[in-house]
């Protein structure tokens, strides 16, 4: 166990935004919310997954909705405690720990808010090893863990509780409620025992976030290649360097959907890359040929600084590098590809692992 203080958050938020593959919310907003909570209540214990008792009651928290909306509809933080406490009421137990649902920019920082506010330890893990747009797309779903009972809460004090037939229905009902709440809401779901966390979650995610963030910062300060430093830690590679020349983006169905177009620079001069996204980057195609797709990670970083660029921050003129990196191997199983592979999102190409 180690104590996470406000000074640790910038590196963690930066690394989380890289793992978030463009989604999971703005890392700056998430970091500010976490910093405010830690300043008010003190440091948050981060515990290794092996330190977790098998009978622990682990209740995750996150924000659900369109990242573009969350740039203007800033969370207050109270929504998180409202959602988590509503789940405690539904199950008749108090949480002993909390954990991150996904490795997204904001959503990796959000559990620090709940942990600080409620005095809970945070488990060094997450449910994806990256970010995905739909809430059934967690590794616990592959293990038969139910998403519900779950609760959603907004800044007005509204709380919606759900029990559904399966996790896909949880996504459908929760998405509808999130739209009514203004296209963003706090959620608490996937109640796990300590044993289930060890079996179905991705180990060491928060520590990896911190290592990635620190590597990018230190490489940039030393005038080295921060993109290469991030790619090395992800066991990935840079697949394109270019300039953003077009971004088509809109909010529909509670998601930020669109496509970014990059014209190649340096060694990629003369080529063009298109990146399709639904909150997260889903498919990267070079000159019309798919070179990376979900469930593998497609990460966009500023070429000079290595700072991750989320889908809501894409804009004309940015000079960026695209990293492709392998996902958790469980996503490459037939069940994992059915849940979060290219076919689920309507693409007809065959998945080729990075």
Domain boundaries, the chain: 2-205, 236-340
**CATH fold for the domain made of 236-340:** CV3147-like (2.40.390)
**What integer pLDDT is reported at residue 250 of this predicted model?**
79
**What integer pLDDT is reported at residue 338 of this predicted model?**
97
R_g of the chain computed on alpha carbons: 19
Query: Alpha helices, DSSP H only, in the chain?
Result: 9-19, 27-41, 67-70, 78-91, 110-118, 139-142, 167-180, 194-200, 205-221, 226-233, 334-340
Largest CA distance in the chain: 61
Residue 39 makes CB contacts below 8 A (sequence gap 6+) with 6
The position carrying tokens 């930020």 is 256
Query: Alpha helices, DSSP H only, in 92-138?
Result: 110-118
* Interior/surface letters 88-119, b for 16+ CB within 10 angstroms, e for the rest: bebeeeebebbbbbbbbbbbbbbbbbbbbbbe
Closest C-alpha among 16, 36, 11, 40 to residue 26: 16
**Dihedral pair phi/psi, residue 69, rounded to 5°:** -70, -35
pLDDT along the chain (354 residues), means of 10: 95 95 84 94 97 97 78 76 96 97 88 95 97 95 97 94 97 94 93 98 97 98 97 97 93 79 96 94 96 97 96 93 98 97 93 92
Where residue 153 falls (left for φ over 0; alpha for ψ -120 to 50; beta otherwise) is beta
At 63, list the tokens.
Answer: 């924000």
Q: What is the pTM of this model?
A: 0.93
Distance CA 35, CA 9 (A): 7
At 246, list the tokens.
Answer: 């077009």
Which CATH number is 2-205 given?
Answer: 3.40.1610.10
**What integer pLDDT is reported at residue 58 of this predicted model?**
98
Closest C-alpha among 6, 11, 108, 23 to residue 309: 23
| Torsion over CA: 343, 349, 350, 352 (sign) | negative
């Amino acid at each position: 166990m180690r104590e996470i203080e406000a000074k640790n958050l910038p590196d963690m938020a930066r690394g989380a935004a890289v793992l978030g593959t463009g989604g999971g919310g703005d890392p700056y907003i998430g970091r500010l919310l976490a910093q405010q909570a830690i300043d008010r209540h003190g440091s948050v214990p981060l515990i290794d997954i092996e330190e977790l008792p098998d009978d622990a009651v682990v209740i995750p928290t996150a924000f659900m909705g369109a990242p573009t909306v969350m740039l203007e509809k800033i969370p207050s933080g109270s929504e998180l405690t409202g959602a988590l406490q509503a789940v405690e009421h539904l199950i008749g137990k108090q949480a002993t720990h909390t954990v991150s649902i996904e490795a997204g920019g904001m959503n990796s920082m959000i559990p620090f808010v709940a942990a600080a506010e409620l005095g809970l330890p945070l488990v060094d893990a997450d449910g994806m090893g990256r970010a995905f747009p739909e809430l059934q797309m967690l590794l616990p779903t592959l293990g038969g863990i139910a998403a519900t009972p779950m609760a959603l809460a907004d800044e007005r004090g509204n709380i919606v509780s759900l029990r559904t037939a399966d996790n896909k229905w949880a996504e459908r009902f929760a998405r509808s409620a999130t739209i009514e709440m203004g296209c963003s809401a706090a959620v608490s779901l996937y109640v796990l025992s300590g044993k289930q966390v060890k079996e179905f979650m991705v180990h060491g995610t928060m520590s990896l976030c911190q290592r990635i963030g620190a590597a990018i910062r230190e490489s940039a300060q030393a005038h080295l290649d921060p993109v290469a430093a991030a790619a090395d830690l992800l066991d990935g590679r840079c697949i394109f360097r270019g300039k953003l020349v077009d971004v088509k983006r809109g909010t529909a169905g509670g998601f930020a959907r669109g496509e970014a177009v990059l014209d190649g620079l340096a060694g990629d001069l003369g080529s063009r890359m298109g990146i399709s996204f639904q909150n997260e980057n889903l498919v990267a195609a070079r000159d019309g040929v798919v070179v990376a797709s979900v469930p593998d990670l497609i990460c966009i970083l500023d070429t000079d600084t290595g700072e991750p660029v989320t889908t809501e921050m894409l804009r004309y003129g940015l000079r960026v590098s695209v990293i492709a990196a392998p996902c958790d191997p469980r996503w490459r199983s037939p069940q994992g590809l059915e849940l979060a592979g290219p076919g689920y999102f309507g693409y007809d190409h065959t998945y080729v692992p990075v």
